Structure 1
Amino acid sequence: MASELISTDKAPKPMGLYPHARKVGNLLFLSGIGPRIPGTDEIPGLKLDKHGQFTEFDFEAQCHSVFKNVRTVLEESGSSWDKLVDVTVFLVDMKRDFHIYNRIYAEYFKENQPCRTTVSVNSLPSAIAIELKCIATI
């Protein structure tokens, strides 16, 4: 079965050699997508001092930004938010952030309710606190 790699400058640049998404048949597989702002790599709601310690942390801002980035990749790939069928969520601090994430997730998924798995991870490739890996239909 043929597949197509998809990359867009409207989403944060991948942090390695991989596409934003890959179409295979009528399925769309999104690579892990975080909240970084396209073109700047700035992380919403996060400020670090010269020692790399948090001086400002707003997890809600990261949640809204990661959903925006996922929506962008879906749309650039010929799919849409309502066609998501599976979401895997990676949280760096499950105890601190899960209840916030769960509340915001419910706002975005009132109509479409894809399958979801949420896992706690020790760290992600940058100072982000959340990343999503998604599957959608086209």
Structure 2
Amino acid sequence: MSEAIRADAAPRPVGRYPHARRAGNLLFLSGIGPRDPTTDAVPGNEYDADGRLVRQDIVAQCHSVFANVRRVLEASGARWEDLLDVTVYLTDMRRDFDAYNAVWAEYFPDPATAPCRTTLGITALPTPIAIELKCIALVRS
């Protein structure tokens, strides 16, 4: 058996899926992006007068996506320190990897205690975001 989790403090999922699903002591988070939970805006996105995306701030999006992951973890009974594995999707690996990696180091300064991580460069995500995280965590309660 598994339990679906909805985190009211996190942005709504963009599809028909839960924020997370708990199976035993493992917690599987659906893809989490950097959208603001209140406004649905993407931090750091800039648009021209015609509404076309002209700039993305990966640092702002990294901080926001980490905050959203934390919200889902807390709603699920887990903590940031309980992350075991993180898959990261970047829409522009060449432009964003170094800045993303620097923000990662702020949140996980000790590689010995950081979760495992895989980073993939992809061509697009379903909303105008530059980063999405897919996480697995341990629930201790």
- TM-score band w.r.t. shorter chain: over 0.9
Q: Deviation at 1:50?
A: 4.4
C-alpha separation between the residues in 2 aligned to 1:4 and 1:39? Answer: 25
Residue 66 of structure 1, CA deviation: 0.3
**1:98 corresponding residue in structure 2:** 97
- Residue 37 (1) aligns with residue 40 (2): no
- Gapped runs of 5+ residues in structure 2? none
Superposition deviation, residue 28 in structure 1: 0.2
In structure 1, the residue corresponding to 2:94 is in which secondary structure?
A: helix
Once the two structures are superposed, residues 56-100 of structure 1 have per-residue CA deviations (whole angstroms, 9 ceiling, x without a partner) of 432110000000000110011000010100000000000000000
- 3-state SS of 1:134 partner: strand
- Given that residues 9 and 39 in structure 1 are in contact (C-alpha distance below 8 angstroms), is that contact kept between their aligned partners in structure 2? no
1:110-130 alpha-carbon deviations (Å, 9 max, x no partner): 243111000011000010000
The match for 1:125 is 126
Q: Does 105-114 or 72-81 show the bigger shift?
A: 105-114
Q: Structure 1 counterpart of 2:134, which letter? A: K
Deviation at residue 53 of structure 1 after TM alignment: 2.5
**For this pair of structures, how many residues does the alignment match?**
137
Q: Which residue of 2 aligns with 1:62?
A: 61
Other-structure match for 2:11: 12
User: What is the distance in 1 between the residues matched to 2:124 and 2:35?
Assistant: 15
Aligned-partner residue type, residue 93 of structure 1: D
**RMSD, aligned CA:** 1.2
Retained in 2: the 8 A contact 1:5–1:23?
Answer: yes
TM normalised by structure 1 equals 0.95
- For residues 17-75 of structure 1, give each alpha carbon's deviation from its aligned partner in whole angstroms, at most 9, with x where no partner exists: 00000000000000000000003210001121243423443211000000000011001
- Write the distance in 1 (CA, Å) between the matches of 2:94 and 2:137: 28
State the alpha-carbon separation in 1 of the partners of residues 98 and 55 from structure 2: 19
% same residue: 60
- The Cα of 1:12 is off from its aligned counterpart by 0.6
Structure 1 gaps of 5+ residues are none
TM-score by length of 2: 0.93
Extract structure 1 runs of 4+ deviating beyond 4 A. Answer: none
Q: Which amino acid aligns with 1:130?
A: I
Query: In the TM superposition, what are the counterparts of 1:80-119 in structure 2 within 5 Å?
Result: 80-111=79-110, 112-119=113-120
Q: Distance in 2 between matches of 1:129 and 1:92?
A: 5
